[in-house]
C-alpha cells in the first residue's frame, strides 16, 4: 500500500512539472500567459531612459549648466545664492528724533533705502532719573567707594554717561518719585553721599523703524548713520 502512495505522488509531481513548463501545451494543457502587453504600450520614450551609477548621480552639474549661476534651475524658486544674500530678517529701530532731526533723516532715508523698508512713527522716550554717586577725583577714590558699597550690600553698576564719569550708578528710573524712594532705601543702609539727578528729560518725536532688515538691507544702513544723531539701532519693542 505504501509503495502505491509513493508511486502516485511521484506521478503527480511529474505531471505538474510538465504542466508548469508548458510541455503539455501541444495537448491543450498549460499555464495561462502572464504577459501584460498593454503596459509596454503606455511607456513614453523608453529609449531616452538612462540609468546612472551612484558616483555619477551625485556629480554636480558642469559650469554653465542650469543652476550654476546662482539660480536653482526650477521655475519659481530662488537660487541658493539669492537666499544666502537676503538672509534672515529682523526688526530694528532707532530714535526718538526731534522735528529738525526728522526732516534731515527723512530725506536721507528716501535717497538711500527702498521706499517700503522703513517707517517713521510718533514715539515718546521717557525721562531718565539716576541715583548717582560721584564725580570722583581719581580711580583710587572710585575703587574705595565701590568697596564701601559692597560692604553695605548696596548694588551698583558702571555709568554709560561720559559726562558723569568717574562715578557710580545705583539705579535708573523713569520718574523722580521712584528715584527718590530708591535713594531713601539705600540711605537706610548707610549710604550718605548719593543723590538724584535727571540725566534725560522726556522726549517726544519720531522713531525710525525698519520692520524687515536682511543682509542686503543692513549693508545700506551705513549711508544714513550720519543722520541718526548718534542714536544706535536696537531690536524693536
pLDDT tens per residue, range 115-135: 899 999 999 999 999 999 999
- Whole-number pLDDT of residue 6: 73
Task: Using pLDDT thresholds of 50, 70 and 90, give the confidence band for residue 43.
Answer: low
C-alpha span between 157 and 175 (Å, rounded): 19
Task: Using pLDDT thresholds of 50, 70 and 90, give the confidence band for residue 179.
Answer: very high
DSSP annotation of 42: T
As assigned by CATH, the class of the 128-200 domain is alpha beta
- Whole-number pLDDT of residue 71: 40
Q: Which helix (H) or strand (E) holds 92?
A: strand 90-97
Per the CB < 8 A criterion, the answer to whether 124 and 96 are in contact is yes
pLDDT tens per residue, range 130-171: 999 999 999 999 999 999 999 999 999 988 888 999 999 999
Per the CB < 8 A criterion, the answer to whether 206 and 102 are in contact is yes
Residue 197 has pLDDT above 90, yes or no: yes
Is the previous residue joined to 166 through a cis bond, with omega within 30 degrees of 0? Answer: yes
Give ranges for CATH 3.30.70.2030 in the chain: 86-123+205-235
pLDDT tens per residue, range 5-23: 877 777 877 777 776 776 6
DSSP annotation of 221: G
- Whole-number pLDDT of residue 72: 41
Which fold is adopted by the domain 86-123+205-235? Alpha-Beta Plaits (3.30.70)
- Whole-number pLDDT of residue 88: 81
Residue 93 has pLDDT above 70, yes or no: yes
Amino acid at each position: 500500500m505504501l509503495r502505491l502512495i509513493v508511486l502516485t505522488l511521484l506521478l503527480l509531481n511529474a505531471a505538474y512539472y510538465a504542466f508548469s513548463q508548458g510541455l503539455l501545451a501541444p495537448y491543450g494543457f498549460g499555464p495561462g500567459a502572464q504577459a501584460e502587453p498593454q503596459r509596454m504600450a503606455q511607456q513614453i520614450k523608453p529609449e531616452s531612459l538612462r540609468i546612472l551609477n551612484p558616483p555619477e548621480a551625485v556629480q554636480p552639474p558642469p559650469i554653465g549648466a542650469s543652476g550654476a549661476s546662482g539660480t536653482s534651475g526650477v521655475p519659481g524658486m530662488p537660487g541658493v545664492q539669492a537666499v544666502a544674500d537676503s538672509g534672515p530678517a529682523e526688526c530694528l529701530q532707532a530714535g526718538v528724533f526731534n522735528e529738525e532731526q526728522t526732516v534731515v533723516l527723512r530725506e536721507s532715508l528716501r535717497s538711500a533705502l527702498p521706499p517700503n523698508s522703513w517707517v517713521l512713527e510718533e514715539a515718546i522716550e521717557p525721562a531718565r532719573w539716576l541715583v548717582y554717586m560721584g564725580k570722583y577725583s581719581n580711580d583710587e577714590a572710585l575703587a574705595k567707594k565701590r568697596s564701601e558699597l559692597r560692604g553695605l550690600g548696596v548694588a551698583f553698576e558702571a555709568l554709560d554717561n561720559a559726562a558723569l564719569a568717574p562715578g557710580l550708578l545705583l539705579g535708573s528710573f523713569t520718574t523722580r518719585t521712584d528715584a527718590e524712594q530708591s535713594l531713601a532705601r539705600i540711605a537706610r543702609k548707610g549710604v550718605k553721599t548719593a543723590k538724584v539727578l535727571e540725566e534725560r528729560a522726556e522726549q517726544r518725536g519720531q522713531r525710525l523703524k525698519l520692520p524687515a532688515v536682511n543682509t542686503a538691507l543692513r549693508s545700506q544702513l551705513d549711508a544714513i548713520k550720519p543722520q541718526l544723531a548718534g542714536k544706535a539701532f536696537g531690536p524693536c519693542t
